[in-house]
Structure formats: structure tokens, C-alpha cells
Amino acid sequence: MEKFYLTTAIDYVNGAPHIGHAYEKILTDIIARHYTQRCDDVYFLTGTDEHGIKIQKTAAAKGTTPKELCDENAQKFKDAWKALDIDYTKFIRTTDEEHEKIVQHIFDKLLKQGDIYKHSYEGLYCQGCECFLNAKDLTEDGLCPDHLKKPEVVKEENYFFKLTKYKDAIIKHIKDHPDFIVPEFRANEVLNQLEDIQDISVSRAKSNVQWGIDVLGDDEQSIYVWIDALSNYITALGYDNENPSENFKKYWPADVHVIGKDILKFHSIYWPAFLLALDLPLPKHIFAHGWITIDESKMSKSLGNVISPTSVLESFNLEHPDAFRYYMATSAPCGRDGNYSDDDFKEKVNAHLANSMGNLLNRTLSMLVKYFDGEVKAEFKGENPLAKKALGTIQIVKNHFDNFEIAEAGLEITSLVDATNKFVQDTAPWTLAKEEKMDECGQVLVNVLDIMCIIASLIYPYCPNIAADMAKQLSFDLKTKLDDLTTDNIKCGKLISKEDIKPVFLRLDSELADKSAKKQ
Ligand code: ME8
């Protein structure tokens, strides 16, 4: 694998980030970090979607300008991603001058080649979706099914994109590439939507929407959000109609666009059509994740249950975001909805990260210090009864990542931790020490520590800080590529002293955790 280019959806900036946005960025960051363990060149793009009527209206209601609102809120997204250790390569804003310029050229090219035409239109516009809806898709009460709001009747002369021209090619692509839409069960929904697809409006009258990119040579129209927003995936790489940049040549097509299920239609129908019209290759995968609910209810401003990701870190006094990252990433199987609850969060991370994984490392290292003064002797190295399970787990985890099954991969890692814990229980190194079977005792401890290196490596994408703490205590190089991992990781000689053994994750309700949080 030479390169891996992955992107998130770009978030609307009419509010601050919530944990639904965070869920997607965490999943993508985990995928990115996993692939850095398999290839040298990973490009991870995220950003913000800043034009459109929603932002224009929110700014007006706040008595500020759209640009000021965008600047203020884009910063909140950047701050949140920093707090969550989202290690992106580039953060694009659709108000970036470079992006705006390329979008204008894309639009112009499509207009000149006849894929975009002008048309007078009356339709039902949902501001929440930032798109026109078909009457048949509304609820019985005439509301948008996603936003439960009545769409407004809009009569305008707009530019339209000939989506219908590309319908057959897209249907063929989806059918020929069963892994184009992930999870596969969503492909049928898309194929159904394609059945009655219409040409789509790609501009709005400036009299109604001023906050948008101008159509070149037309003072009365601004480019409407989706052609602007979706193009970010190529403008970020410096796409140019005539003269594609080195980055574009190197990274396009994207290996995966990570998005929520609500915007799958735009990514698996509109985006491929725009790309086909531009004569560009299609992305390899569109991974549509599920929805995050709070205590099993939909997150909404009106219910007052919107949770910001940083508030979770603060309320649990978390030193780093690993526990939250782990919890969110494992909250739902691939493509299914997940849920956040404070109690469940505490219970799960205490069980998995503190009791199972952290404790296993801590007590194994403590025994090595107690019985051998932290020294690994040559006699302790040898066959590892856990080798088959551990090496098998690496393979299974890789396969899960290839299918974007992030929670499923997490469970496999937990299962390796459980098997290692069981091995310690079964072999009882403390009894071996009592019986003075010291070589056997040392072998068990080193068997476990060798596997802990693999666990540190596998857990790294989810919990980079915990993994770094584990690796430090194991003198293990976390940069080791997954394919180079073996079960012979611990070097002979002094591994650790008593004062260097530190719990890698403290239970959230423990006194120690409270004390260490207060110290900061
Ligand atoms: O749709 N659970 O922006 P957005 C999980 N700008 N994911 C959620 C979620 C939740 N509760 N709420 C939102 C847009 N998301 C467009 C995208 S891409 C070229 C343009 C996800 O701010 C949502 O599914 O409404 C989407 O993938 C992302 O957050 C941004 O949503």
C-alpha cells in the first residue's frame, strides 16, 4: 500500500461541535492511525463547511457577519479536535480562497461542457438538509423526515446539474463494486434513491442566499452548498482542471470518505456524478457510519441534550482523550447507531482499559520487579503459548479495518487482552515463584510482556497516549509496522525499575484518578 487518503465530512459551523461530530472524527483518526502502521503515506483531511442559508441566518440572528460566525465556530472545531488528539494532515475551510477559486472553475467547466444548465424551478427546500426535497419523501405531516421541519416553498431560476445523465453509470458502479458503499446493506437504499433521481439545483439566487461562492460571470447566482462542499475532497489536494497538483496526482482517488448515514445520498450519488462529469476516478469507498444518540434519544438543541466532546473530558477530569476515543469508537458495530451515556462510559472504560488492560501490564511488570528486580534473563525467552492467538489477532484486526469495522477490531483487541489475562490466571506466576520455579515464572511474565507489546501496538490508534505509556514501560518501539510485529519484542537485560511502573489508565472513580486530575 503506497498511500492512504481519507476524509471526514466537513461540519457546518452554525454551532459548536457535538459528540456526533466527534464520533466521526475519532473513527477517521483511528483509521488514519491504523494505516500509518501499514503504510508510510497517510493523508487525513477534515474541515468545515461554511456557506449556505443556515449560516447566513444564524449569523443574522446573532447580529454578526457570516464570516465572523464561521471564524469563531471553525476555531471551536479545531480546538475540539486538538483536545481529542485528532491528528489530521489538513483542515480545509470552504471559505479558504484557494477552495473558492477552484470551485468556481469546476462550476464553470461543467457549465461550459453542458452538464450545468439554467432552469426555472419551484421546490421544497429544507434548510437543515440544505437541499430540495421531493414531496413523496416528506412525513405524513409534510415535514422533512430528518429535521422534522416544514420545508419552505422556493421559486427561483437556478443552475441545474444533469444528474440524470450519470444515473446508469452510477448504478453500474455500485453494482460492480460491492465494497464501494460500506456497510454493504446501505447500497440498496442508494439504488432505490437512484430509481427516481432528478437533475439537481446547484446554485441559489443571490437575492435569497448571499453567503455562497459567486458563479463566474453571473452576478445573480451563488454556488449552492453541495457542489461547493463535496469539492473540498479534491480542492484540498490542489485539484485544478488543467494542471493537477502533485498532491492531487499522488492522493486522488480517496481511499475512503467517512461520513454519516444521513449524507450518504450526496456522497454516493451526487459526488460520483460530479466526478464522472469532471472525468475523474471515483473514491474507493464511502463509509457511512451510524448516528450517535444520548441516553438513547436523538441529540437536539430543543431537547437540550447536546453534549460537547470537551465537556465529557472535563466532567471526568480526563488527563487525555483516550478513554472517550475508545468508548466512542466501540459504541456501535460498523454503520449502526451508537449511544453515549455517562454511566456506561464509566463502566466500559473502567472494565476494558483499567481493570483488564492497564492492570494486566501493571501487575506483570510489578511481578518482574518483585521476583527478578525488573531483569529479563535469556532463559525467560522461548516459545510463547499466546503467539498463535496474538499473531492471528493482528490479522483479524487488519481485516476489520479493511472493512471499516472499527468497533469489531476493538473487540478483537479486548479479546486478546482477556486471553492474556486468562493465561496469567491459569499459569499463576505467583505460585510458580512460591514454588521457586523461577525460570518458569520468568517465562510466563515475559510471554505476557511480549504480547503486551502487540496489544500496545493494536490499541495505539484508539488510545495513542495509553499506548505510548505502555510502550515506554515495555521499551517497545510503537512505530513498528503491524506486518513487522513478532512475539519476540522484549529485550534481555534490565527492563524496568519499581519507580518507573505507572498505571496506564486509572479507574474513573478511583481516588488516585481524582488526585492525579487535581494535581494538573
Ligand atoms: O452534513 N451522530 O454537516 P453536519 C453521528 N456539511 N454523526 C453525526 C451526528 C450524530 N448525532 N450528527 C451529525 C453536513 N453527524 C455537511 C457535510 S461533507 C462534504 C458536507 C455527522 O455538520 C453527519 O452525519 O450536519 C456528518 O457526517 C457530519 O457529522 C457533519 O454533519
The confidence score (pLDDT) of residue 513 equals 53
Cell of 332: 456501535
Any bridge partners for residue 259, and if so which? Answer: 288
Q: How far apart are CA 340 and CA 327, in angstroms?
A: 9
Distances (CA, A) of 291 to 267, 327, 428, 433: 17, 15, 44, 51
The confidence score (pLDDT) of residue 519 equals 45
Q: How far apart are CA 234 and CA 319, in angstroms?
A: 36
Ligand 1 atom with the shortest distance to the CA of 292: 2
Residue 21 among the catalytic residues: yes
Max Cα separation, the chain?
89
The confidence score (pLDDT) of residue 520 equals 42
For the Cβ of 21 lying below 6 angstroms from any atom of ligand 1, the answer is yes
Residue to probe by mutation, ligand 1, list 7, 8, 10, 11, most atoms within 8 Å of CB = 11
| Span from the CA of 21 to the centroid of ligand 1 (angstroms) | 6
Q: Which amino acid is at 12?
A: Y
Question: Which residue owns the Cα nearest ligand 1 atom 18?
Answer: 9
Residue to probe by mutation, ligand 1, list 126, 227, 263, most atoms within 8 Å of CB = 263
Distances (CA, A) of 506 to 370, 405, 515, 520: 22, 27, 11, 15
| Span from the CA of 289 to the centroid of ligand 1 (angstroms) | 10
For the Cβ of 291 lying below 6 angstroms from any atom of ligand 1, the answer is yes
| Span from the CA of 300 to the centroid of ligand 1 (angstroms) | 13
Q: How far apart are CA 431 and CA 408, in angstroms?
A: 35
Task: Give the CB-side neighbour count of residue 286, counting CA atoms within 13 A.
Answer: 31
For the Cβ of 49 lying below 6 angstroms from any atom of ligand 1, the answer is yes
Ligand 1 atom with the shortest distance to the CA of 259: 27
Residues composing the chain? 520
Q: How far apart are CA 116 and CA 137, in angstroms?
A: 25
Cell of 453: 507489546
| Span from the CA of 204 to the centroid of ligand 1 (angstroms) | 22
User: Among residues 278, 193, 189, which one has the least CA distance to residue 240?
Assistant: 278
b/e per residue 265-277 (b: at least 16 CB within 10 A):
bbbbbbbbbbbbb
Task: Specify burial of residue 12 (Cβ count, 10 A radius: 0-12, 13-18, 19+).
Answer: buried
How many whole angstroms from its chain centre is CA 404? 10
Annotated catalytic residue within 62, 119, 172, 298: 298
Residue 147 among the catalytic residues: yes
Q: How far apart are CA 296 and CA 195, in angstroms?
A: 33
Residue 39 among the catalytic residues: no
Q: How far apart are CA 27 and CA 6, in angstroms?
A: 11
Phi and psi dihedrals of 478, rounded to 5?
Answer: -65, -15
Q: What is the DSSP letter of 135?
A: G
Cell of 193: 434513491
Annotated catalytic residue within 70, 129, 334, 463: 129
Please give the sequence-ordered ranges of beta strands (E in DSSP) within 267-366, or none if there are none: 285-289, 292-294, 297-298, 338-340
Cβ(8)–Cβ(286) below 8 Å:
no
Write down the pTM of the prediction: 0.94
Over its length of 520 residues, how does the chain's per-residue pLDDT go in tens digits?
799 999 999 999 999 999 999 999 999 999 999 999 999 999 999 999 999 988 999 999 999 999 999 999 999 999 999 999 999 999 999 999 999 999 999 999 999 999 999 988 888 988 888 888 888 889 999 999 888 889 999 888 899 999 999 999 999 999 999 999 999 999 999 999 999 899 999 999 998 889 999 999 999 999 987 999 999 999 999 998 788 899 999 999 999 999 999 999 999 999 999 999 999 999 999 999 999 999 888 887 777 889 999 999 999 999 999 999 999 999 999 999 999 999 999 999 999 999 999 999 999 999 999 999 999 999 999 999 999 999 999 999 999 999 999 999 999 999 999 999 999 999 999 999 999 999 999 999 999 999 999 999 999 999 999 999 999 999 999 999 999 999 999 999 999 999 999 999 999 986 555 555 444 4
Residue to probe by mutation, ligand 1, list 12, 19, 24, 227, most atoms within 8 Å of CB = 24
Cβ(162)–Cβ(117) below 8 Å:
yes
| Span from the CA of 326 to the centroid of ligand 1 (angstroms) | 20
Q: How far apart are CA 374 and CA 509, in angstroms?
A: 30
